[in-house]
Amino acid sequence: MSSQPSAKPEPAQAALPRFDAVVIGAGFSGLYALYRLRDVLGLDVRVYEAGDGVGGTWYWNRYPGARCDSESYYYSYSFSEELEQEWEWTSKYPEQPEILRYLEHVAERFDLRRDIRLGTRVSSASFDEASGDWEVRTDGGARVRARFLVSAVGCLSAANVPEIDGLDRFGGDWYHTGRWPHDGVDFAGKRVGLVGTGSTGIQAAPVIAAQADRLTVFQRTPNFTVPARDAPLAPEAWAEIKSNYREIRHRTRATRSGFPYIPVERSALDVSDRERQAIYEQLWEDGGFKFLWGSFSDLLNNQQANNTAAEFIRGKIREIVRDPEVAERLLPTTHPYGTKRPPIDTDYYETFNRENVELVDIRRSPIVEVTPGGIRTGDAEYPLDVIVFATGFDAMTGSLLRIDIRGPRGRSLAEKWAEGPKTYLGLQVAGFPNLFTITGPGSPSVLTNMPVSIEQHVEWISDCIEHVRRAGLTRIEALPEAEERWVRHVNRAASQTLLMQAESWYLGANIPGKTRVFMPYVGGLSDYRKICDKVSSDGYEGFELSA
């Protein structure tokens, strides 16, 4: 009689290695969560990171032109004054390699690496009611358990490669910008197709155009972009920043968006046309996000006010782009300015004055298929050697839902979020005890300068865990009614703005079939911080704490 080889029995949960907390991801948020939970609270923490290095977004997004579009001195951690004083950025908007070096430096400086397992993707996590622990499994087959599970997976990490017929038969090479080869891509002598004109495509196009033989940009939605005006940071500028860091950080925490700009209270409609034009001109010259956050207070909630900024940028496009037909194709008309995440650029519109650059309007004539030799739209076939997809991400929920997360009684997060994400404060999900989501949906996150939001979340979460432990408790879970209330509040806040008017990834509109729900909280980081602080000082109102 033959017998089947019996599968090796899995060890009982009690025999698994156990941590106080498992953190998923070692980017900006995971690194700080590890520091805070391990070095401040003294917990036993394990971090799993899918990449072969730390850095998260800045590990994966190595595409040409990748740089931060918040200014370096405030797109950084504030938790360590020593770190602030010893690190110097070379320019206003650092390039990806420099930001990655910064995060690697942080990992070294705070001796974080010893608790991070690189090249290890968390495949599932399930809550065990009997022990009150999460059991976490990795793609390599490891199993561990932990009292707390902290998601630091990032809001923009699950790459979105469009399903286009024939891509598997393409004879050249294709890449997604969020999964860029570490050795780079040599575009010299190549005919390159770039699909997507969001922040990424807008950063990449000028750099690729300067290297490639030809660049064809496939544009579905024309975008508004404002010049970054990158420049090296002179030693005097540094001295000034370093001596003012406390004030700068204080300001980032006090503003709606986490930028240190002094908030403006004026309406775009309260000034004369001449004055308004002068303000926009000055901000266009200064460059960067100040154009949105430092111009007028009502660009995102008053259509007429918004029109003034939109029309100013359209005027700039007409001025910069020499061919009027190309300029016309570049004019954004489908959404108000700032309702898709606004990019900033270096010579984006100027790129369309180059002889070797072509703009294809795929809204008018969509891509039909990828052929072995290029891309075919309804109108024509464009011969290509390389295709670059700058087509974004399954934002805010994608990276979390790619993990099979199950709460008590096996209910999955995917089921719970089938109609869109529901959270309490973007920090916890009812029905998933002891799971925390750093910059989760329902928090200001992507509408802000991310490191400021990340620090606020990590600090709130670690204070909360400390509170639970000090009280001799073991479990904290958002109450369904508190979650419902918060979800209603998030929706109401979004509906009072123009942000609902764009087909944006904030709404999930970029992913076919994704439920449309406005995911980030638009009420502003400063007020959100006060709400979170009040919840904790009221004894974690809206959460159930138990042993």
* Interface residues toward ligand N01, by CB under 6 A: 67-69, 156, 162, 195-201, 203, 220-221, 341, 362, 390-393, 446, 505, 510
CB of 54 to ligand N01, least distance (A): 17
**Which CB atom, from 201 or from 433, has the smaller least distance to ligand N01?**
201
**Which CB atom, from 198 or from 227, has the smaller least distance to ligand N01?**
198
DSSP 409: G
- The residue type found at 392 is G
The span from the CA of 320 to the CA of 287, in Å, is 16
CB of 163 to ligand N01, least distance (A): 8
CB of 506 to ligand N01, least distance (A): 9
**Which CB atom, from 30 or from 201, has the smaller least distance to ligand N01?**
201
DSSP per position, 513-541:
T------S-TT-HHHHHHHHHHHHHTTST
Contact 389, 437 (CB under 8 A): no
**Which CB atom, from 162 or from 172, has the smaller least distance to ligand N01?**
162
Task: Please enumerate, as own/partner, the contacts of 349-355 that have beta carbons within 8 Å and a separation of 24 or more.
Answer: 349/225, 349/316, 349/317, 349/320, 349/321, 350/206, 350/320, 351/205, 351/206, 351/209, 351/215, 352/217, 352/321, 352/323, 352/326, 352/327, 353/320, 353/321, 353/322, 353/323, 354/209, 354/215
**Which CB atom, from 162 or from 408, has the smaller least distance to ligand N01?**
162
CB of 195 to ligand N01, least distance (A): 5
**Which CB atom, from 125 or from 525, has the smaller least distance to ligand N01?**
525
Between strands 435-437 and 475-478, the pairing is unpaired
CB of 496 to ligand N01, least distance (A): 22
Question: In the chain, how long is the greatest CA-to-CA distance?
Answer: 94
CB of 198 to ligand N01, least distance (A): 2
The span from the CA of 233 to the CA of 362, in Å, is 40
CB of 197 to ligand N01, least distance (A): 4
**Which CB atom, from 508 or from 542, has the smaller least distance to ligand N01?**
508
The span from the CA of 369 to the CA of 161, in Å, is 14
* CA 349, chain centre distance (Å): 24
**Which CB atom, from 126 or from 160, has the smaller least distance to ligand N01?**
160
The span from the CA of 435 to the CA of 478, in Å, is 10
Angle between helix axes 245-254 and 235-243 (nearest 10 degrees) is: 70
The span from the CA of 197 to the CA of 214, in Å, is 17
Q: What are phi and psi of 305, to 5 degrees?
A: -65, -45
**Which CB atom, from 71 or from 385, has the smaller least distance to ligand N01?**
71
CB of 113 to ligand N01, least distance (A): 25
**Which CB atom, from 266 or from 516, has the smaller least distance to ligand N01?**
516
- The residue type found at 257 is S
- Residue reference for tokens 């449309």: 516
**Which CB atom, from 138 or from 157, has the smaller least distance to ligand N01?**
157
CB of 297 to ligand N01, least distance (A): 22
CB of 488 to ligand N01, least distance (A): 26
DSSP 454: H
- CB proximity list for 328: less than 8 A, separation 6 or greater: none
The span from the CA of 147 to the CA of 134, in Å, is 6
**Which CB atom, from 453 or from 510, has the smaller least distance to ligand N01?**
510
Handedness of CA 185, 190, 193, 196 (dihedral sign): positive
The span from the CA of 291 to the CA of 293, in Å, is 6
Name the residue number minimizing CB distance to ligand N01: 198
| Nearest CA-CA partner of 520 in 493, 484, 547, 480 | 493
**Which CB atom, from 276 or from 341, has the smaller least distance to ligand N01?**
341
3-state secondary structure (DSSP) of residue 193: strand
CB of 208 to ligand N01, least distance (A): 14
- Residue reference for tokens 């599932």: 124
The span from the CA of 144 to the CA of 136, in Å, is 5
CB of 457 to ligand N01, least distance (A): 17
CB of 86 to ligand N01, least distance (A): 23
